[in-house]
Structure 1
Amino acid sequence: MGGDDYEDLFYGDENIFFNIERAISVEVYEDFVLNIIGGSAYEDYDRGISIFSGYNDGMQNMPLRSIKSSVDNEILKISSRLKTENYFLLESELLAILKKYKEIAEKQYDADSLFYRARVGTEEQKRCISLGFESENHYTPYSCDKISCPPPQYASAGRINRPGVSFFYCATNIYTAVSEVRPHPGDYVSVGKFSLNHKVKLFDLSDSQLINFYSNDQLLDSYIPFHTLTILINKVIPPSERQHYSITQLIADCIRQLGFDGILFSSTVGDGKNIVIFDANVMKYTSDEQCVLKIEKVQYEYGVVPLIKEDEAYH
């Protein structure tokens, strides 16, 4: 953009920060810029954010790190230890981390809030002949208990639940609910709508919540563990690698022990959000909007990944 100092960023045609023409006067705008550039570049740890890294007190600072790509090593170590240690031996460590974010992450849904579940298949199919020469198949969707969560004895491992533990998985819209059951083209999918019997308190890991941490360096550092939790809970895990659910299941166990009714997280296949309720009795089936959908097409997005080469160093 030109110029010898970052003060030049606030002037000229390519000013990306403020529109000088909208200022009350040029003098007011210049005073505003001076207030920004006149302060210390290295704010107190708990009062502001250092805007660049360079030399301070004769010593070179470490390069500034990307917040988006930063992860908490303590949580990653807990995840790794699950390969050799029983999960209940690690609960206290993860609980101590989660407790710090229970107020920030709390999201409430009122009674009668509506959510959707889907199941591949239908309860009944009949050939309708009332149309004369034209006939067509009519369907009865799964409903009530048949589209609710399975009994514990039939519950397989999921992102949030352990084998033999039945949680109520649902979504905020029909598209996401259908996408989460991974149907194939030609499949028929039953969709049911459920409402909450009473207000619930969920632990929201659906987004980064950065707005609660941006005001100073101390808060930004405390944001990294929470950010790591959101990465883990929202990570794309194919069905063939369900062993990686061990850390997300432990996160869910600890959240339940903190008194939450469930977890809110983003869908990796739909445009809505997923909700897992720990006690299915909180949900009530409603016949409104029950339907059967035929899957016409499933679309995939992909990216090319690097190949292993003989002349590269690996571990």
Structure 2
Amino acid sequence: MGRIQLKDRGGLLLGDHISCDGFSCDRPVRVQTHIHSDHMSDFDTSKANQTIVMSAETKDLLFAIYNADLPYRSNIIAAGPTEVFDVSGDQVQLVPSNHMLGSVQVKVTCSDGYKLGYSSDFFWPVGDVIQVDELIVDSTYGDPLRVRQYDQGRVIEKLSEQVCTNFHSGKSVCLIGHNGRLQMALYLVAEFIKIPIIASPKAFPLIHSYRQHGYPLPEVLNAASREAIDLLRHKTPVLALVTLNERRHLPWVDRFCKIHLTGYMSRPKDPVILYDNGDSCIAFTDHADFHGTMEYIQATGASTVWTDPRSGNAQALAEAISNQLGIRSAIVPQLHSLAWG
């Protein structure tokens, strides 16, 4: 048994003192790797019972989303990429993962010098790969067949093309996806936008945080504001950003041309699927594909690799790591308990 375990409620345990992206009553510190909802398990419970460490960017994004009490909590701590902090003799470091604004890899150096690592979600290449003995890696593209035959430049080109084509025909366009992906898409197509931009109530608060951290986003209106409502009422052409969770609650989206930004690759040779009604789906992923995942694993230097069953195909990835890289690998052990936390 390694020193990395997955709790049945989703929290990941690194050694004896750290939990990641989930609550554990016997771990004094939780590391929050980024803000995506599948990594926010039991965050409210952690707020009351753990010190929560994250990047400065993630802290700002969480303040924007949960601004009721987080700014007043002394147990919410930001750590820079070169900062190492001590937790009961273990040394913890957060290193950018190139997934979204603020996302990090986690490295824990135990008191005996043994190094544990958690990739969390990442996009390849990663500028600075953690060096560890034992690793748990994201399995989103764990299937060896999940390989992109196009680069990210092609994806950006196709995104811009779809947006501009619809604008030139006088249509309003709605980008639909997760936070992080939406704001990055706006950043990439901003130079082509000559019409008003609105953002749904859950996408809008993050715009300011992205500006603060180096993304010069254009002016954006909150979709719930009077000015935005007037634009929608008069059917003025606009670009809208809408999160997946809000889409079904916003009926005005139905009359827009919709571009779905998905993190999953649907076809290996083309990032775009066009639908008969004029809508489209673009594989605007922020995850490494299979080859990128394998290159990342090799770069960490890990001699033991656990695959994460919470996404993708963990079994296929574990087999590929063992067979192709010659590294001991299996699905991460799960810790089942009826105890609180």
Structure 2 length-normalised TM: 0.22
Q: With a CA cutoff of 8 Å and minimum separation of 6, indicate the structure with the bigger relative contact order.
A: 1
Q: Name the larger-Rg structure.
A: 1
